[in-house]
Amino acid sequence: MAKGYIQKMLAEGEQILVITRQHWFVVASAIFFESVVMLISLIALILGVFVAKNVSDILKLIIFLVCLGIILIMGLSMLRDYLIWWNRQYIITSLRVVQIAGVINKNLTDSALEKVNDVKLSQSIFGRLFGYGDVEILTASELGVNLFRRIGNPVGFKTAMMNAKQDQERNVGSFSKHHEDTPDLINQLDQLHKRGVLTDEEFARKKQDLLTWPEVSALPRDIPLILPLGEGYVLDRLASALGEPPKAGLLPIFPFGWEGSGLALPEAVIGAYISNLLDSLRDDGFTRCYALTPQGIDLGLGVNRIALPSSSSRSEAQVLLPDTARGKVLLIPIGHTEQHGYHLPLSVDTLIIDAIGQGTAAAAPDQACCLPVMSYGVSTHRQAFAGTLNAGGRAFEDFWVAVIDILSGRGFDRFYFLSGHGGNMSFLVNVVKYAGERHRRIFCATSFLYLSGPHGIEALQEHRRSPHGGMGHACELETSLILHLRPDLVQMDKAVDEMDFLATPSYSMDWIESGALIANPPWDDDTATGAYGAGSLATAEHGQIWLEAAITEKVAHVAEIHEQHQRREARRAAGFGLWGRT
C-alpha cells in the first residue's frame, strides 16, 4: 500500500531501492497486552458459559456478551496496532531517504541523499541477536537528525543508504555544452580562482553568468541547484551540506526580504516568492532545488532549504536604506533570470536594469538612490526554453506591495519601479495601483522597460541597424547593451537572427510593441532559438549610446516624480477637494 503511495511521488528517473519496517518485536510488544486480555476473556467465556454449572441462563448471557465485547475491542485494537506498524515504512530511493506513516492520512518525511552527512547505527545485544536497531541520519537541515527506531536489518539499511549516496555522486557527471568554448572559459576562471584572483563567490557568479539556456537544458536533472538568500556563506560548508557533489549550480542572489536582510517582509510573502522560483526548476525536471538561508530563517520551505551561517546578516538596527535617503526617489530595479537565445546569458535583464538603476542614482545623487537589483520576476512563457524562472504573478505583486508597505511606514514617499523584463510590466502596473490606493501620500510609478519615451525612442531610431522586428528579445538592443557592459558574456558567433514574427496590423513585435491587441501566444510559435530580433547587428558602441540614453530618460523621470509629489502635496495642503474636509 505504502509502496504504491511512494510510487506516485517519485521524480522522473527516481527508483525505489530498499523498503523496510520496524522489527516485528515492535508490533509484538504493542499487541501483547491486547493478546493477554483476549486470552483471559476467551477463557472466562468458555468457563462461564460452557463449563460452569448451576449458572443461570441470564448470567451466562451476560458473561457471553461482556467477554465477546472485550474480545472484539481487543481484536480491533490489535488490528489498529498492526496496520500502524505495517504502514510505517522506511524507504531508500536513488535520490532520498523516506519515512512514511499513517493508515489513512499519510505523513511523509524525506531527506535528500546529498544532504546526508553521516549515518549512525546503534544495536543492543538483543538487537544484534534478533536483527533490529536504531539508525540515526545526520543531515544538513536545521533539524539535523532523523532517527529511525528499532528497524529490521539496520546494518543492511545503512549499507544500502551509503551505497545509494555514493552511486548518486558518481552519476552526477559533467554536463554537455552547447557552446564549444564555454568549458575553456570555465577552465580559465578556475585558474584565476586557484591563483587567488577570484574569490569563491566571484568564481561561482562568473561561472553562472556563462550559462545559456541550451546549457541549462543539458544539465543533469539531479544536479543540486541552490538559490542563496544574501551573501557571506562559506562555499565549503555548502558543499559539505550537499554531500560533496561533483557539481552544483548557484543561482543569482536573492537580495532582501528576510529578517536580517535590512528590509524584512512577512515570511509568508517572501516564502511564496521563493517557493515559486524553486517550483520553476522542478517543472523543468530538476529534483534537487534548495533555498540557502541564514540560520533561523524558515520561510515555510521545510526540506527545500539549507540553513548555514551568513556573514552578511544585519542586526535589527541595520537597515538597507538609511533615514537620510528620505525625500529621494527610491529606484527599485527588477530584472529576471531567463533564456536569451544561444548567444546571451540568463542574466541579461538583471545586468541591464542594474546598470540603468545605478547609473541613474549616480547621475542624480541628491534626487535618487537605488535598492539592490532583484534577479527574479515573472515569466508566463517559460515552458519552451530551459533556464527561465517564474516568481508567479500573485506572489510577485504581494512581495512588492509589501516592500512599499514597509518603506512607506519608515517615511519614504517616492518610488520608481524599473523593470528590465517585459514579463514584469503588467504585474508592476498592478503593484503601483495597489500601492497608490493603500498609501495616499506617496507617489509610486513605473514605466515600460527603458528607452520607451520620446528621447529613448529617438535614440533607438537614430542608431538602430535592424528593421522593425529587429528589437524584441536577445535582439540588437539587448545584445548591444551587454556587449558594452559585459562583452565577456556575449558569444556573437552563436547569435541567430529571428524576425519571422506572425505580425498583423494590430499585433506585432518590436521594442515598443505595436498594435492595439495584447496577447501572450507561446513563444515557440515565433522563435526556434528563444530570440526575437537581430542580435547579429549589435555593437558595443551602440550599446554605450543606448545605455546613456536610458539613464538620461530615467533621470528625467526622477525629476518628474519629484515634481508630481511636490505639487500634489501642495494641493493637499491647500485643502483641495476632499482633502479640505475635516
d(CA 330, CA 326): 9
DSSP 491: -
> Which of 170, 205, 240 corresponds to the end of one domain?
170
DSSP 57: H
pLDDT (0 to 100) of residue 152: 87
Domain check: are 162 and 193 in the same one? Answer: no
Domain check: are 164 and 222 in the same one? Answer: no
Residue 80 three-state SS: helix
Domain check: are 307 and 418 in the same one? Answer: no
d(CA 369, CA 332): 9
Boundaries of domain holding 302:
183-320
Domain check: are 577 and 445 in the same one? Answer: yes
pLDDT (0 to 100) of residue 88: 86
Chunked into runs of 10 residues, the chain (582 residues) has average pLDDT values of 62 78 86 90 86 81 89 90 87 82 77 72 84 78 63 84 71 36 47 52 53 79 91 84 85 93 94 95 90 90 88 63 93 96 94 97 96 95 82 97 96 97 96 97 97 94 94 96 94 94 91 83 90 96 97 98 97 88 64
Q: Is there a domain that residue 74 lies in? A: yes
Q: What is the CATH number of the domain that holds 429?
A: 3.40.50.10310
d(CA 23, CA 475): 64
**Nearest CA-CA partner of 369 in 312, 305, 310, 323:** 323
Domain check: are 499 and 559 in the same one? Answer: yes
pLDDT (0 to 100) of residue 481: 98
What is the number of domains present in the chain? Answer: 3
Domain check: are 433 and 297 in the same one? Answer: no
Q: Is there a domain that residue 241 lies in? A: yes
Q: Is there a domain that residue 51 lies in? A: yes
* Planar angle of CA 186, 340, 220, nearest 5 degrees: 50
Domain check: are 193 and 165 in the same one? Answer: no
DSSP 140: S
Q: Is there a domain that residue 144 lies in? A: no
Domain check: are 242 and 370 in the same one? Answer: no
Do 503 and 532 contact (CB within 8 A), yes or no?
A: no
pLDDT (0 to 100) of residue 6: 67
Domain check: are 252 and 306 in the same one? Answer: yes
Q: Is there a domain that residue 238 lies in? A: yes
Cell numbers at residue 341, please? Answer: 537565445
**Nearest CA-CA partner of 487 in 375, 351, 341:** 351
Q: Is there a domain that residue 149 lies in? A: no
Q: Is there a domain that residue 12 lies in? A: yes
Element spanning 115, H or E = none
Domain check: are 466 and 546 in the same one? Answer: yes
Domain check: are 25 and 94 in the same one? Answer: yes
- State the pTM of this model: 0.68
Q: Is there a domain that residue 152 lies in? A: no
Domain check: are 94 and 38 in the same one? Answer: yes
